[in-house]
Structure 1
Amino acid sequence: MDKLIERFIHYLAVERGLSQNTLESYQRDLIGYTEFLRQNGIEDIDQTRRASIIGYLAGLQKMGRATTTISRNLASIRSFYGFLLRDGLIEGDPTANLESPKVEKKLPQVLSVQDVERLLESPDLRTHAGIRDKAMLELLYASGIRVSELVSLNIEDVNINMGFLKCFGKGSKERIIPLGAVALKILDQYMNRSRQSLVRDASERSLFLNHHGQRLTRQGFWKIIKKYAKAANIKKEITPHTFRHSFATHLLENGADLRSVQEMLGHADISTTQIYTHITKSRLKEVYAKTHPRA
């Protein structure tokens, strides 16, 4: 079973181009599942039945795993069996017609426009590090890209003159995103002045650098943003997706169409983008309740 998992992960990496984090997630789920099978005397993947999978998922539930975790595990197992069936390694798919547990969609945390403005004004522009931080925050809010995409940017991915950036999202899919004047101005200042003070090696292509002159990591960036959130007195908990959620919500609140937002976010399915319409609707209800004389 271990070799089959390795073969499946290789397929996901090469044929589907999934990210390293996603591959590791699939692998963890499947190792946990096959370990459960072995503990129950099943050594051959073709011996598994629907009851085995239900038993495994029930065990996760008893351990207090979240519904989202159980649903993700089932999705990993289903994809694994689908791969084995297509390659003729099993005769039937035991996950057929097996329903995923209902996952309650939680509305993402979103900052108000005022909170975003306070956060964006927090960096000290008298320092090169402050200009870098301001450029990162402005770029994140201007584009809605993921934090992993932000820290992966190279200098050639930003075109100041044309006013856009190029990034590679999930599955290495390229997308082009326009940038506003404010983000472009601070980016120009960072790239042409402040970055030069941080770089140690002239061959370094990473856009955003730490004080060692190396690519700034995701963890390093979130230490930075938490610092500014505290400085701006923002009480809401900021997660790696908060800026992305805020970007999408503010666009929709100001009249952007859903398809355009979907394209900028790089969502493969518009149903993923539709979560933000629920946020804007809930805000409309709040405004109505506060302002209508007969609400």
Structure 2
Amino acid sequence: MGAQSYESKSNALPAAGKADDAERLWTALKRDFEIFLRVENRMSSNSVEAYMHDVSLLADYAIARQIAPTQVTTRDIETLLRELGEDDALGPRSQARLLSGVRKFFHYLTFIDAVGDDPTSLIDPPKLGQHLPEVLSVEEVNAMEAAIDLSSPLGHRNLAIVEVLFSCGLRVSELCALRMSRIFWQEGFIRVIGKGNKERLVPIGDVALHDIQNYLTQRRGWRKVPANEDTLFVSQQGKPISRVMVFYIVRDLVAKAGIRKPVSPHTLRHSFATELVRGGADLRVVQAMLGHESIVTTEMYTHLSREHLREALMKYHPRGERK
């Protein structure tokens, strides 16, 4: 879909000036922007939802001040970011995320010639300190898995979920979308559909495959699950497991294991990558397995690895720490 078709749409939009006109213009351009993200950029539903949330924050701010999207200035955006920061509604990282979404929206508006200049071009993102994600040790993951009651109807399923998250480094959305037909049992790989519907092959270890097989054996006794159901992780009612349910499963096991740190399913992905880097895996290999677009994203795990080495020096070397 080219710029011309979008331009013809924008020319038919109401003129800016009054509050109701501004709101209609925001609604129309947000609608077209969402279509653009889904069709042209082929973004996942989760990514589209995140971008639209960012743009909606700006839209609400602007509509309240009778500002149309074609009238937004650099100062307007800076004021919004400052006010949200002062109210503690958004921390620096969330402000950076908001700016990223708004920036993409105005890139789109310049693409369709709805605006001449991009008001975000002169705005620097908020400065962020080095943020290292929380990770779990192998012992902590083992404790989570040991807390699972394998005699319960969902025990083997939940064990397989935790093991696949930790040993394959999948995003939650990728885990929920796994299909039986995408598991290559003999080769030891799974085909994963990641962000932007991009496919990648991820190696899967024998432990995870064994846990999946045990789960599938248990699943055959679930009457409401068709024998030919291709979705890997389902409920006993035969419905695909949701991201929220995976979150609750992980949170429950963390509590039962006595782990006192903030943990989400994504923590297992961070832990997967960290263990690979600590073990000496090449960053490009880790990048491919995680499905990162840029190796810069993967490089944060080298910081975690260096932190681990520093801790080892301080703890075990006689000259590591001053007495």
Query: TM-score interval w.r.t. the shorter chain?
Result: over 0.9
Query: What is the aligned counterpart of 1:77 among 102, 107, 116?
Result: 102
Q: 1:184 aligns with which of 176, 187, 209?
A: 209
Q: 1 CA distance for matches of 2:301 and 2:101? A: 26
Provide the rounded CA distance (Å) in 2 between the counterparts of 1:161 and 1:20: 32
The 3 A distance-change label for structure 1 pair 48 and 223 is closer
Q: Distance in 1 between matches of 2:53 and 2:289?
A: 31
Worse-superposed segment, 75-84 or 120-129: 120-129
| One-letter amino acid of the structure 2 residue matched with residue 49 of structure 1 | T
TM-score normalised by the chain length of structure 1:
0.93
> CA separation in 1, counterparts of 2:92 and 2:180?
41
AA aligned to 2:160 is: A
Larger CA deviation: 66-75 vs 231-240: 231-240
- Where does structure 1 differ by over 6 angstroms across 4 or more consecutive aligned residues? none
Match for 1:139 among 164, 173, 176?
Answer: 164
The amino acid across from 2:144 in the alignment is: L
User: Counterparts in 2 of 1:264-283, with a 5 A limit?
Assistant: 264-283=289-308
Structure 1: runs of 5 or more not aligned = none
Of 197-206 and 77-86, the range deviating more from structure 2: 197-206
2:250 aligned with 1:250, yes or no? no
Verify the 8 A CA contact 2:96 2:125 in the aligned structure 1.
yes
Are 1:59 and 2:83 counterparts? Answer: yes
Deviations along 1:125-164, one digit per CA (max 9) or x if unpaired, are: 3455212122112111110001221112121121222211
Equivalent of residue 221 in structure 2, options 197, 205, 213: 197
What is the one-letter code of the residue matched to 1:145? L
Quick check: 2:246–2:265 contact (8 Å CA) kept in 1? Answer: no
1:261 counterpart SS class: helix
Secondary structure at the aligned position of 1:209 is classed as: coil
Whole-angstrom CA distance in 1 between matches of 2:51 and 2:310: 40
Deviation at 1:234, TM superposition (A): 2.1
- Cα distance in 2 for residues equivalent to 1:201 and 1:246: 32
Q: Does structure 1 residue 166 correspond to structure 2 residue 191? A: yes
Residue deviations 1:74-122 (CA, integer Å, cap 9, x gap): 1111111111111112112122222111122321111112111222333
State the one-letter code of the partner of 1:140: L
2:10 aligns with none
Q: Which amino acid aligns with 1:35?
A: D
Distance between the aligned counterparts of 2:272 and 2:50, measured in 1? 27
Q: Which residue of 2 aligns with 1:121?
A: 146
**Residues 128 and 197, structure 1, Cα contact 8 Å, conserved in 2:** no
CA pair 237-87 structure 1, distance change in 2 beyond 3 A: same
CA deviation after TM superposition for structure 1 residue 199, in Å = 5.3
Residue 228 of structure 1 and its aligned partner are, at CA, apart by 2.4
How many correspondences in the alignment?
Answer: 293
1:91: which partner in 2? 116
Asked if 1 retains the 8 angstrom alpha-carbon contact of 2:250 and 2:264, the reply is: no
Match status 1:291 vs 2:286: no
Kindly report which structure 2 residues correspond to 1:8-23, keeping only aligned pairs within 5 A, or say none: 8-23=33-48
Separation of aligned partners in 2, 1:187 and 1:35: 46
For the Cα contact (< 8 Å) 1:157–1:167, is it kept in 2? yes
Q: Does the CA contact (< 8 Å) of 1:198 and 1:209 recur in 2?
A: no
Distance 2:165 2:281 in 1: 18
Gapped regions of structure 2 (runs ≥ 5): 1-25
Q: Which residue of the partner structure matches residue 175 of structure 2? A: 150
The alpha-carbon deviation at position 223 of structure 1 amounts to 2.3
User: Residues 33-52 of structure 1 correspond to what in structure 2 (within 5 A)?
Assistant: 33-43=58-68, 45-52=69-76
1:26 Cα shift? Answer: 1.7
Please tell me whether the aligned partners of residues 249 and 276 of structure 1 are also in contact (alpha carbons under 8 angstroms): yes
Task: Give the conservation status (yes or no) of the 8 Å contact 2:277–2:305.
Answer: yes
Contact 2:194 2:200 survives alignment (8 Å): yes
Q: CA deviation at 1:190?
A: 2.3
User: Is 1:239 matched with 2:264?
Assistant: yes
Identity among equivalent positions (%) equals 35
User: Cα offset for 1:293?
Assistant: 1.4
Match of 1:198, SS?
Answer: coil
Q: 1:39 to 1:123 in 2, by over 3 A?
A: closer
Root-mean-square deviation (Å): 1.7
